[in-house]
Amino acid sequence: MNIPLFDLTRQYQDIKKDVLESLDNIFSSGKVILGENVKKLESDLSKKIESKYACGVANGSDALLIALHALDIKNGDYVITTPFTFFATASSITRNNATPIFVDVEEKYYNIDLEKVETILKTHPEKEKIKAIIPVHLFGKTLDMEKLKYLKNKYNIKIIEDCAQSIGSIWKSKDGNKIYSGTVGDFGTTSFFPTKNLGGYGDGGMIFTQEENLQKRVKKLRVHGAAKKYFHDEIGYNSRLDEVQAAILNIKLNMLDEFTEKRIEKAKRYDQLFKDLNLTDKIIYPDYINDKTHVYHQYVITLKKGNRNELAQYLSKNGIGNSKYYPECLHRQKCFEYLGYKTGDFPIAEKATENTIAIPIFPELTDEEQEYIVNKIKEFYN
């Protein structure tokens, strides 16, 4: 068998007709920059996640960069984030000339530990310089949104939720209300990179906010800081969501709920297979959650026994796509050496770089393929 970690081609067969038709409409109309498709996606996606505003940008990295800029994060400011995330989360801070403060993750889902964040907010020697937090809803697991709200209000701190991996995920409050990831922070940002739960056929990103003035600012920043064309209030970016990508994403947005349900179904099946094959003393799997509090962008298992790199090789040899998310923590990246962190500073994140592995999860993955994958993991341990 040959099972990729993610497969864009299977999905294409289902939407091919609609995609080609909508591309033909765009090319025939000649309206290829910030046209009706971008507007429609902004409107429909913000409705879907119950956000007041949305602004399409060129990619998820720019979404973070522009959101921080719009909050006036600058040289001398500190921003808290996780060392266990994709690079862009932290580079958006340094690209705004501010300094990241890393905080370790929790052991279950590898999300930033919000208790430790609060400790830093209380005890950091230069705590008055900490201006923002970028929490990431990692692998699609929503963070505790009530705790985020609490931190935002209690410490009067800005929050930019990185929802690149969590579009459509929710948090359920104690009284049963659901809160979508991306709607509690001053900004939420997402990515439409092809592998994402809502992925295009190229790059794309979006910024969500509940405040009109912030929406105006990011809309201006995405077009060179000009609220009126050719009149520049400030220096911005060229970071527009591409009309072609927006057209494709509009088609896929109609299927997002179905995609998410299928991901959740696959996660449940993996969990059951691991139990059935008595693998629970060898690996820890991301406890199946029966609602959208986890949208399983990735299905990452943790090895209790055995060598992760050997398992990765074994899976590859047997045609099973896999990946290490992430093979190195951000505080140990060469480009962040100047921050002065060292090995041992974030033990949970550091351990996760050594003993976790992502296995295929996508809506079109078949039962047979899942069985094959789990059987090969079992075989590895025999």
Ligand X SMILES: Cc1ncc(COP(=O)(O)O)c(C=O)c1O
Tell which one of 162, 186, 242, 350 touches ligand X (CB under 6 A): 162
In the bound state with ligand X, the residue whose beta carbon lies nearer, of 183 and 370, is 183
Among candidate residues 334, 333, 332, the one with its CA nearest the CA of residue 346 = 332
Place of tokens 């993996």: 270
Q: Which of 22, 46, 82, 85 binds ligand X (CB under 6 A)?
A: 85
Amino acid at the residue 134: I
Q: Is 88 in the site for ligand X (CB under 6 A)?
A: yes
Taking alpha carbons only, the member of 123, 118, 82 closest to residue 346 is 82
Among 53-61, 67-75, 242-250, 273-281, the segment contacting ligand X (CB under 6 A): 53-61
The answer to whether 192 touches 201, Cβ cutoff 8 Å, is: no
Binding ligand X by CB under 6 A: which of 6, 53, 86, 299?
A: 86
Contact indicator for 210, 53 with CB cutoff of 8 Å: yes
199 touches ligand X (CB under 6 A): no
Choose the binding region for ligand X from 54-62, 172-180, 307-315, 373-381 (rule: CB under 6 A).
54-62
Does residue 303 bind ligand X (CB under 6 A)?
no
Q: How far is the CB of 365 from ligand X (least distance, A)?
A: 20
Nearer to ligand X, 196 or 376 (CB): 196
DSSP symbol at 241: P
Strand partners, 112: 105
CA pair distance 31, 192, nearest whole angstrom: 21
Q: Is 203 in the site for ligand X (CB under 6 A)?
A: yes
Residue of 3, 49, 56, 60 interacting with ligand X (CB under 6 A): 60
Number of residues that bind ligand X (CB under 6 A): 15
CA–CA distance from 54 to each of 24, 38, 41, 44, 184 (Å)? 26, 10, 9, 9, 14
CB of 63 to ligand X, least distance (A): 7
Q: Which of 37, 96, 181, 191 binds ligand X (CB under 6 A)?
A: 191
The answer to whether residue 22 forms part of the interface with ligand X (CB under 6 A) is: no
Task: Decide if residue 61 touches ligand X (CB under 6 A).
Answer: yes
Instruction: Tell me if residue 158 is catalytic.
Output: no
Which two three-digit tokens encode residue 54? Answer: 């949305």
Applying CB under 6 A, does 89 fall inside the site for ligand X? yes
Enter the tokens of residue 338: 């100047």
Strand pairing category for 205-209 and 170-172: unpaired
> Where on the phi/psi map is residue 122: left (φ > 0), alpha (ψ -120 to 50), or beta?
alpha
Q: CA triplet 79, 84, 88: central angle to 5 degrees?
A: 60
Judged by CB under 6 A, which stretch of 70-78, 81-89, 251-259, 332-340 contacts ligand X?
81-89
Q: Which of 193, 285, 296, 362 binds ligand X (CB under 6 A)?
A: 193
Catalytic residue from among 131, 196, 252, 292:
196
Q: Please tell me whether residue 236 binds ligand X under the rule CB under 6 A.
A: no
Q: Does 179 bind ligand X (CB under 6 A)?
A: no
- Kindly tell me which of 86 and 102 has the beta carbon lying closer to ligand X: 86
* Residue number closest to ligand X, CB atom: 60
Grouping H, G, I as helix, E, B as strand and the rest as coil, residue 80 is strand
Q: Which of 136, 206, 311, 374 binds ligand X (CB under 6 A)?
A: 136
Q: Is 197 in the site for ligand X (CB under 6 A)?
A: no
Cβ atoms of 192 and 166 within 8 Å: the answer is no
Per CB under 6 A, does 45 bind ligand X?
no
Distance, CA of 103 to CA of 81 (rounded, Å): 6
For the purposes of burial, counting CB atoms within 10 Å of the CB of 217, is it exposed (0-12), middle (13-18) or buried (19 or more)? Answer: buried
Decide: is 205 part of the binding site for ligand X (CB under 6 A).
yes
Question: Which residues, in sequence order, are bridge partners of residue 54?
Answer: 208
Give the footprint of ligand X on this chain (CB under 6 A): 59-61, 85-86, 88-89, 136, 162, 164-165, 191, 193, 203, 205
Give the catalytic positions in this structure. Answer: 196
